[in-house]
């Protein structure tokens, strides 16, 4: 998605550099356009470095216009987000002014306009600012925030710009894929599980939850109602998604069984521990012997349990493999009775706990390669595939067979 990020003059402009990074992580192309006042708070060079594109600020710059004219730029944008949007910028937009590049772009583009106001709390509450907000809202402009809290000037109250992560998620939630999964319910498991040995130790793996959370955000943006069952991860909940935190494989299974009624699609991204200690010790295991053997037992297979029980559920599994991706992925699809399986190469700096990923996707009678990209952009591509397969009417139960994970 192509984003024009307008930056106007305010202390929150320093957060907009991080916003560029967050948008790029989600696969967006970002063109920063600064007002003259914004350049007093942060340099164009900072934005050029994080966006990878020269910043635009002047309406009458022959060199910049020769590369991409302002009308071309207005057409290029899929979304225009102004963050921070100062009181002055809100007033100029409400009045329909066109005396600098940013205000002109807003008039010349048919792309949805989103504004993230940031100003002193007294200014935000001023009748003139509220009247401008009402005018802009009435024209269909999305106003994101502001949040309330401690302000740079020392005041406390409404007027803080929303955090970059929230803004990036809100922007993508308004993306054009919004109706792909409209009316559907999607349940997703994400992150690792922890299997306790004693009160202070557990078995787990390196899953960060990023892939599953990206899918939850992408499904929500595509119009689905999303239940996200998360193992222990340190990630914010995507806006509009209902999250359930669990710790162990057993708890993840219980939660999935209690949420599954009425679900249409189940995406099993979680890296569920395959084994757990046979015995949980109530007190800390003491270091008394040179060697210690642990007896492990299998955990319940959440994905296989649900796919065998729920014949009307479209089930998407993941296969984390270090070699022979296709062979093991197809084997899992058959044994776990899946409608689709997404294989990813895992290892040092691949798959687990990184921001990029690539997937080989298989379903009965077809396959697709999704190239390496930020997990959020990858999630959007996968959601499109899932929506297509779901709409095409998925194949019935597959033959179950024995094998290894």
Of 18, 198, 274, 331, the residue at the interface with ligand PMT (CB under 6 A) is: 274
Q: Is 219 a catalytic residue?
A: no
Nearer to ligand PMT, 288 or 311 (CB): 311
Q: Rank residues 3 and 325 by Cβ distance to ligand PMT and give the closer one.
A: 325
Q: Which is nearer to ligand PMT, 158 or 232 (CB)?
A: 232
For the chain, percent helix, then strand, then coil, each to nearest 5?
Answer: 35, 25, 40
Q: Which of 211, 235, 361, 378 binds ligand PMT (CB under 6 A)?
A: 211
Cα–Cα distance for residue pair 324/225, rounded to 1 Å: 35
Residue at token pair 């966006």: 51
Cis peptide bond upstream of 180, omega within 30: no
Indicate whether 317 belongs to the interface with ligand PMT (CB under 6 A): yes
Q: Which residue in 31, 57, 299, 337 binds ligand PMT (CB under 6 A)?
A: 299
d(CA 213, CA 304): 21
Half-sphere exposure of residue 183: CA atoms within 13 angstroms, side-chain side: 2
Structure token pair of residue 110:
């048919």
How many angstroms separate the CA atoms of 339 and 210, rounded? 23
Which residues, in sequence order, are bridge partners of residue 359? 370
Minimum gap (Å) between residue 89 Cβ and ligand PMT: 37
Taking alpha carbons only, the member of 235, 208, 212 closest to residue 303 is: 212
Q: Which of 56, 210, 255, 335 binds ligand PMT (CB under 6 A)?
A: 210
Is the CB of 220 or the CB of 299 nearer to ligand PMT? 299
CB of 263 vs ligand PMT, minimal distance in Å: 15
Nearer Cβ to ligand PMT, position 2 or 305?
305
231 is a site residue for ligand PMT (CB under 6 A)? no
Please report whether residue 373 would count as binding ligand PMT according to CB under 6 A: no
My answer on whether omega of the bond before 84 falls inside 30° of 0, hence cis, is: yes
Site string for ligand PMT, 232-271 (x = CB under 6 A): -----------------x------------------xxxx
How far is the CA of 13 from the CAs of 39, 40, 142, 156, in angstroms? 9, 10, 19, 19
34, 253, 248, 4: which is closest to 112 by C-alpha? Answer: 4
- The two tokens of residue 172 are 């993508």
**Which residue is catalytic, options 28, 106, 153, 259?**
153
**Size of the residue set binding ligand PMT (CB under 6 A):** 29
**Closer by beta carbon to ligand PMT, 352 or else 390:** 352
Helix, strand, or coil here: 258?
helix
> What's CA 77's distance to the chain center, in Å?
20
Site for ligand PMT in 331-370 (CB under 6 A): 332, 344, 346, 351-353
Interface contacts to ligand PMT, rule CB under 6 A = 191, 207-212, 249, 268-272, 274, 299, 301-303, 317-320, 332, 344, 346, 351-353, 405
Q: Which residues are catalytic?
A: 153
């Amino acid at each position: 998605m192509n984003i024009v990020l307008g930056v106007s003059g305010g202390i929150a402009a320093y957060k907009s550099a991080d916003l560029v990074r967050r948008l790029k992580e989600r696969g967006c192309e970002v063109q920063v356009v600064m007002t003259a006042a914004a350049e007093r708070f942060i340099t164009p060079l900072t934005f050029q470095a994080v966006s990878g594109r020269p910043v635009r600020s002047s309406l009458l710059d022959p060199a910049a216009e020769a590369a991409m004219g302002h009308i071309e730029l207005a057409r290029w944008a899929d979304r225009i987000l102004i963050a921070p949007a100062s009181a002055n910028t809100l007033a100029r937009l409400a009045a329909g002014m066109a005396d600098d590049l940013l205000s002109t772009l807003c008039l010349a583009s048919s792309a949805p306009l989103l504004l993230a106001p940031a100003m002193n709390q007294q200014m935000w509450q001023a009748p003139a600012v509220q009247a401008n907000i009402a005018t802009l809202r009435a024209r269909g402009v999305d106003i994101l925030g502001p949040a309330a809290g401690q302000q740079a000037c020392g005041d406390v109250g409404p007027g803080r710009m929303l955090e970059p992560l929230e803004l990036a998620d809100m922007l993508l939630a308004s993306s054009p894929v919004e109706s792909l999964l409209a009316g559907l319910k999607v349940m997703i498991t994400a992150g690792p599980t922890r299997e306790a040995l004693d009160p202070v130790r557990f078995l787990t793996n390196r899953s960060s939850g990023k892939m599953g959370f990206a899918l939850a955000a992408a499904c929500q943006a595509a119009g689905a109602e999303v239940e996200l069952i998360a193992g222990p991860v340190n990630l914010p909940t995507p806006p509009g998604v209902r999250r359930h935190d669990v710790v162990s494989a057993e708890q993840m299974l219980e939660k999935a069984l209690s949420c599954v009624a009425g679900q249409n699609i189940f995406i099993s991204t979680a890296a569920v521990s395959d084994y757990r200690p046979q015995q949980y010790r109530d007190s800390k295991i003491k270091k008394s012997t040179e060697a210690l053997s642990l007896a492990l037992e299998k955990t319940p297979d959440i994905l296989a349990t649900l796919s065998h029980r729920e014949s009307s559920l479209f089930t998407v599994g993941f296969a984390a493999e270090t070699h022979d991706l296709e062979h093991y992925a197809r084997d899992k699809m058959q044994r776990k009775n899946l409608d689709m399986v997404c294989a990813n190469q895992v290892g040092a700096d691949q798959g687990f706990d990184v921001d990029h990923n690539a997937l080989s996707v298989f379903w009965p009678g077809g396959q697709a390669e999704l190239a390496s990209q930020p997990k959020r952009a990858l999630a959007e591509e996968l959601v499109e595939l899932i929506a297509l397969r779901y709409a095409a009417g998925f194949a019935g139960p597959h033959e179950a067979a024995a094998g290894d994970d």
